[in-house]
Every structure is written in C-alpha cells, then in structure tokens.
Amino acid sequence: MVILDRLPTKDRLVRFGLAIDNVCGLCASSSESRDHLFVECCFAKEVWDIVLTSCGVCYTLTNWEDLFNWLIANLKDKSLRIRILRLAWTGMLYSVWEERNHRLFRRSSRSVDALVNSIKLVVRVKLSRYGKPRIDDVNRQLCLNWGLF
C-alpha cells in the first residue's frame, strides 16, 4: 500500500473531496502525503536515522524516490545487516503509520525512542526464526545495537 501510494493520507482524502485539514499528524509542519509522512517528516526522519545508525549505515533521506531506489540497490544481499535493514524498513513504515493513526484517532502518542524500541522488538522477534546469528567482528556491534544476544 505504501509503495503504491494507496494509503489514505490526508492529501489523498482531500483529493477525494473530503473537507479535512491537510496537516501532518506527526510534525504539524507540512501537508500529509506519503512522501512527507515517511521521508520528509522530522519525526519519521529521526526514527529512520536511528534505525540506520543502529545498522551502521550512513544515508541521508532526501525524498521518497531516492530512498526507494537506494533500498532496491542496497537490500539484495543475504547478510545479517541486510536482513535487519529489510525488516526495519517494513517495521518503520508500519510503525510510523500506526503512530499517525494513534495520534489522529486515539489522541495518544509515543516518543521517537519508543517507536524505535518497538521496531527493534519486531526485528528481534522476526530474526529469531533464523536461529542465533553468527557472531563475528562484523556482526558484533550490529547484534549489540539490535539486542540480538
């Protein structure tokens, strides 16, 4: 749904004729679109930056298309880092959308750290299906950052 830009973001709802405010529910600084919500929003950027740093990756988010192309080009390997990045990316999309909905419909919110911890928990649970990761010099810091010990 996210990739196809089919989520009912506020900009899409306005295009469908609904009379609603078009302000991002996470940062309240711009209109809410898929691109803003998952890449441009300061809240989502902070979540994504922490996730990438936890994976030992330096990448600056610019726009949806660049991010998506970067992901396609770089998530082809079967290493532990790539598995974590794939799971973290889908977890980040889900968590940011869920947080947006909680703020909009339940009037409750979580901090960036709480959201990152939630993503890390999901990644750990899903990685547990693969068994214990091989711990070597390359994976040691990665495992520490994601709590895989």
Most confident of the ranges 10-14, 34-38, 52-56, 115-119: 115-119
Q: In this structure, is residue 101 part of a structural domain?
A: yes
Residues 55 and 84: beta-carbon distance below 8 Å: yes
Q: In this structure, is residue 66 part of a structural domain?
A: yes
**Domains in the chain, number:** 1
Q: In this structure, is residue 113 part of a structural domain?
A: yes
pLDDT at 78 (0 to 100): 85
Residues 86 and 75: beta-carbon distance below 8 Å: yes
pLDDT at 147 (0 to 100): 87
- pLDDT tens, position by position, 85-139: 999 999 999 999 999 999 999 999 999 999 999 999 999 999 888 777 777 877 8
Q: In this structure, is residue 8 part of a structural domain?
A: no
Closest CA to 44 of 74, 24, 20: 24
Domain that holds residue 109: 41-146
Q: In this structure, is residue 23 part of a structural domain?
A: no
Q: Model pTM? A: 0.87
Q: In this structure, is residue 111 part of a structural domain?
A: yes
pLDDT at 105 (0 to 100): 93
Non-local (6+) Cβ contacts of 62 within 8 A are 39
- pLDDT tens, position by position, 54-96: 998 888 878 889 988 988 898 888 888 999 999 999 999 999 9
Q: In this structure, is residue 3 part of a structural domain?
A: no
pLDDT at 24 (0 to 100): 92
Between 19 and 100, name the one with better pLDDT.
100
Residues 10 and 20: beta-carbon distance below 8 Å: yes
